[in-house]
Chains A and B, each alone.
Chain A
Amino acid sequence: MTRTLLTGNGAAAWGVRLAGVDYVPAFPITPQTEIIETISLWIDAGEMDCRMVTLESEHSMLTAAGAAAAAGVRVFTATSSQGLLYAMEMLYTVAGWRAPFVLVNVSRGLSAPITLEPDHNDILAARDSGFLQIHAATCQEVLDSVIMAYRLAEDRRVRLPVIVNLDGFYLSFTREPVTLPEAAAVKRFVGPFNPENLRFRASQPVSQAVAVLGGSPYSYFRYEMHLAALNGLRVFDEISDEFARDFGRRYDAVEAYRADDAEFVFVMIGSFATKAVDAVDRLRDAGRRLGLVRPRLLRPFPEARLRELLLGKKGAAVIDQNISMGKGGVLFAELASALYGQKDAPTLTSFIGGLGGRDISLEEFYEMAAVTRQAAQTGQAPPPRLLYTEDELREMRKLQAVAQAERHRLGGNTA
């Protein structure tokens, strides 16, 4: 067991290496590229027995990943943002094949306007694809989640592909101390891939692209995927128990930090949740009973566990690093549906922030706690708060004034 400094991308690559992956179809995109670069260096140096193929797009990359998994080999691939969206058609398709493999998505805000920095709209666009989703908050968790994801995907009660998500920059390019588990222990933990009926044999063709007309057979296949995804809850619990036993690190489907005796909690996913941990500690020091509830597993959605953790609390501040235009935060809506009609449900407040990598400051966490406390007292939740300050708008107005002056000079629309 070595403890070393690794970026989130490096940690993902180590997870892949230790899981004994056979095949990696690849296509580069910032901020993911370091993952496949690292793997390709290892393959070149003979340190990893694996085949890597570069494809001409993410759409083809996902097709290759699904096809290889359907041929019975252990597959890994990675992408980000626009790449994930470009591959979206195949995400839904290969999930329907029930071919298990692991995809790492390094979250990055979507165009337009284009950016490099993270938020969760990319990964949430894949929410209903049939891929299960594990969201990591630290580099260690990235490595461990990749390993656990193979167990989850390949379990015969599930057999669906799994996405492990990490935030661009705040994890992908950030080095933290990471413990590398022993290769032999991981090999034992993950085990060999049992592809069951998935195979490729000469002269024995199998078609994954079956057509069904009339809603009934179609419904059957879709419902079966849903049931398999729901099985993922129990299977994930088993895997995390086993992982904790073998490696001493525990990853529940929902992380609950100082939540047991908390009156109020922050609810969020991804790496900024560590900032919430910091805020919780500091608010506790100031005598406030705060906690953090972080769904690690987003699909399947750990509804029952979230109810257990949240019912009886006075309030929950849901922080969404995504925005569904014309609705609001996706996580807020998911959580509200899980708590609707339940006795002793907390007052929910909604905050949208951290889009395109915008920081969420400690002071903003304190203020979100204060707003939620106030809402619980009055029983009246304020409208969703789009985190944005006076200073930010002032800077934006300056840029717009420049653009306006230029439009004027260029004789364009000056209105």
Chain B
Amino acid sequence: MASAIYSAEVPSLVTDPGTNRAVPTENATESQRAPRPKKPNYGQIHSRPLPLETYPLPAFIPHNPLSIFRIVYVVFSQLFRPPSSHPSVCYKGYFSHETQSVHVTDCKTIRALWEKGFFGKGNLSRSEPRWLDQEMRKRGLLAQETSEEVTRKRREERRRFKIERARKEREAIEQQLREEGKISHPAPIDETETLDNAQPQEIRQQLSNGNINDRIEENGRIKYGRTPALPEKTPIKTTQPLKLDTRHSVEAAGIELDEEHLQLNPEEVLFLAYGLGVLEVSDQGIPIPTSSLFKLFCRHSSCQSPETQSIQPDDSFLLKYVVYHHFRSLGWVVRPGVKFAVDYLLYNKGPVFSHAEFAVMIIPSYNHTYWSESLERKVKIQQKEKRDWWWLHRINRVQTQVHKSLVLVYVEIPPPLHDDGAISELDVGNILKRYNVREFALRRWVANRNRD
């Protein structure tokens, strides 16, 4: 595995022919159907897969000999004044001990890190930092719908559909019972039954809505602007959020300040700082050098012994970073996959373009002879390598439900550098060089269903 991405390798990563393709057709169809608000041109916004600049040579056109001169000009100008692939000012973030992540508060940096490579997560949003957009939308200043709103709407729809389905099922059963003559007095029992069944549901809905509103009031920042328009809703329910809305808009009329910051997880930070060299992390105003950053994250990775200075070769952060770096180097957009019970999700171009294709699960693999030398080590390894079949079936089934393929990534753990069983040297490259990554894709296959 490459220990770092050199700037010479970057152009091959950057030149992606598919980024701008979808744009003209999209515009054409939307001009015919006017009411739908225009989607932003994601191909253009996210044209850079990493926060680095590249300077490709101009195209050579065979029937235009002058293009050669342009190429020659660019080659020579770059030879004498090599342009920097890095941004003019290094991106800055600061380490937060409470969340064990790195926060980025500068607006431009946040946009740059999100747009070029999908790094980080907004602390008030699901992934892309869009809290300000949501706020503006609630005040009617913005037409663009946020993904959180789309999800909320979808969930609400699904919930209503489920209620409706349950009601229909109940009615069908009642109908059946009536036909069979099992309900002797159809009308009165029928009514009480429906009432009994309907009431708790309604109460539950109201409760849940109330809870949401309460929580939002406590928060004081976000509010539940979109009321779930239930057919059986009381008028009080619909007015309440409106009141909230007005009060907030008065209160927060002057809010232009984005209260959201970007959270980068340790792997992303190390990749940006060490792998690309575009991020500078500081702790209480003091910048942290890359090697101690590495050490810091390793120390925070396990809750058992934060004081020990030595880094175990199978440290969980180290494994995660190795895998992260591996897939980033191969051009994938890697995002954390906790919500699907895996370590990482791999996106082909990015989350705005398509769903994740693969779900990555990291498994340490102790094949080196060092690990089987003593009985004590063997027992320890067995514990760490142990996964049962139930675990595998569970993980795999979850991935099947969400149409991703599971990739088991085995990381070969090298023996420790020194005999005391730990890594004490702090050349990150040397440490990473010793790891090996194997991928193993897995799919749930049912004989009856997968017959083509």
B is bound to A: no
Interface set of B (CB-CB < 8 Å, partner A) = none
